[in-house]
Amino acid sequence: MEQKTIYHALNIMPELCNGCSHCMKVCPTQAIRVRNGKALMHPDWCIDCGECIRVCPTHAIKIAADDFQRIFDYEYRLLVLPSVFFGQFSNYISLEMINSILKEMGFTAVHVPEESVDFLLETMNHYIEENQRPVISSFCPAVIRLIQVRFPSLVNNVMRLKQPMELTAHHLRKVYSEKHKADMAKIGIFYVTPCAAKIASVKSPVGDYISPIDGVINMDYLYNRVQKESVKKLAENVADLPQERIQLSGKAIKYTLTGGEKDNMWQTGLAVDGLQNVIDILERLENGEIEGVDYLELRTCDESCAGGILTPNNRFFAAERLRRMAKKLPEECWMPKKYTDYLASIVNVGQIEPRSIVRFHPETKEALKMMEKAQEIKESLIGIDCGACGSPSCEALAEDVVCGKATIEACLFQRIKSGKAGSLSMEQAVGIMEEIWGADKFVDK
């Protein structure tokens, strides 16, 4: 199994983390433990889904982003802005206003990544006909990572096609280098991300290719800046906005919402959103329980990208607003054939490798022995998964004990049992608690 360093967009800030363990409980790959009163993340197991951010009460988990000023390193500053961004604003703020504010901020042009979806959807339909079914969408990077880590037997079902943000970036680079005779090095393409997973997919793409995107801007940051400016403009009653259009179509707007891919498939498809729902479908698929489905559109966030961790507004309002916008637009918006021919030449990505979690030992024989031991320990534990040991479940504690990463006395109930039997002093018990939850938790405030 290859062991490359994987880029993660999520970082736990120790100075803000109070070790409350909320994140540990929701992590779908059990990548988090609490030690010395702080959450620690196992980098090989993290899939950048961002579930931990949603539940962190102290905002201690930060999403890395590029410095905004980096856009000025380039002469042509092209913004690739997911259409889901437009769903964040009230009806008073028009697309023209958003466009003109972004231009004032320094961008040469604003494009939606979904400009390439007409081409992509057709390519996908052909791909499905020619490949192992059901084909799993490669749209959501957290889903791809989840499959690599938790469902390695399904990696060959993942569609090996680039997604709108990458295709549109390639397209823009081509347009600007040809039409505007721009020097390639002077074109900077910046993607606005609604989530952590998309950042990770730009910084370390899965499928052996280099991302055509030069930088990533977080959607909440850009929203704040646009919102502030638009309030000013509305107050000033700015009437004569440049009527420059952002190229949009109905299909493009709906693409990032649940059903955006599936509804355009010729074959039978299923659209699933929400992390637990996605896990359930993947479990069933792996068990061979799913038949008669050719395409699986799987999105980690509830309501897809409208529910992204960096989208500021309520996901249902945003999705509804976008659906209403889509109705008023032309259904499709093809780019010239010259460019779709070009995209066809770069749309494929390479093999997607599994990234199986080594829970016990890389050698099966040793792993089996350790697992048997862990099973024994698990049976001796109380099974309430309280997390007071600093591991996410009794099962996880049993694994951690066998792997030498925790002691059985980390379990509260075990400590009381040992205390009752006289084999563990109060001092020792406190010492164990301090190792997990930090010494500061055991002094009077």
Partner 1 sequence: MEFKFHVEGGDFTSAGTASSQIKKVLKQINIDPIIIKRVVVALYEAEVNIVAHAHHGDIKVKITPQQVYIRLDDEGPGIENVEKAMQKGFSTASSKVREMGFGAGMGLPNIKENADIFTVRSEVGKGTTLEITISTVNNG
Residues that bind partner 1 (CB under 8 A): 150, 152-153, 155, 283-284, 286-289, 291, 354, 356-365, 367-368, 371-372, 375
Least Å from the CB of residue 357 to partner 1: 8
- CB of 97 or CB of 377, closer to partner 1: 377
Which DSSP string do the residues of 92-106 spell out, in sequence order? TS-HHHHHHHHHHHT
- Cα separations in angstroms, 315 against 318, 320, 442: 5, 9, 41
- CB of 131 or CB of 177, closer to partner 1: 131
- CB of 153 or CB of 247, closer to partner 1: 153
Least Å from the CB of residue 361 to partner 1: 8
Which DSSP string do the residues of 146-178 spell out, in sequence order? HHHHH-GGGGGGB--B--HHHHHHHHHHHHHHH
Least Å from the CB of residue 364 to partner 1: 5
- CB of 147 or CB of 197, closer to partner 1: 147
Query: CA-to-CA distance for 60 and 67, rounded, in angstroms?
Result: 20
Tokens linked to 123: 């390519």
For 19: left if phi > 0, alpha if psi spans -120 to 50, otherwise beta; the answer is left
Strand partners, 158: 136
Least Å from the CB of residue 235 to partner 1: 58
**What phi and psi values does residue 270 have, to the nearest 5 degrees?**
-135, 130
Least Å from the CB of residue 398 to partner 1: 12
Least Å from the CB of residue 359 to partner 1: 5
Query: CA-to-CA distance for 295 and 303, rounded, in angstroms?
Result: 18
Strand segments, DSSP code E, in 36-155 are 38-41, 61-63, 76-80, 109-111, 135-136
- CB of 89 or CB of 151, closer to partner 1: 151
- CB of 32 or CB of 149, closer to partner 1: 149
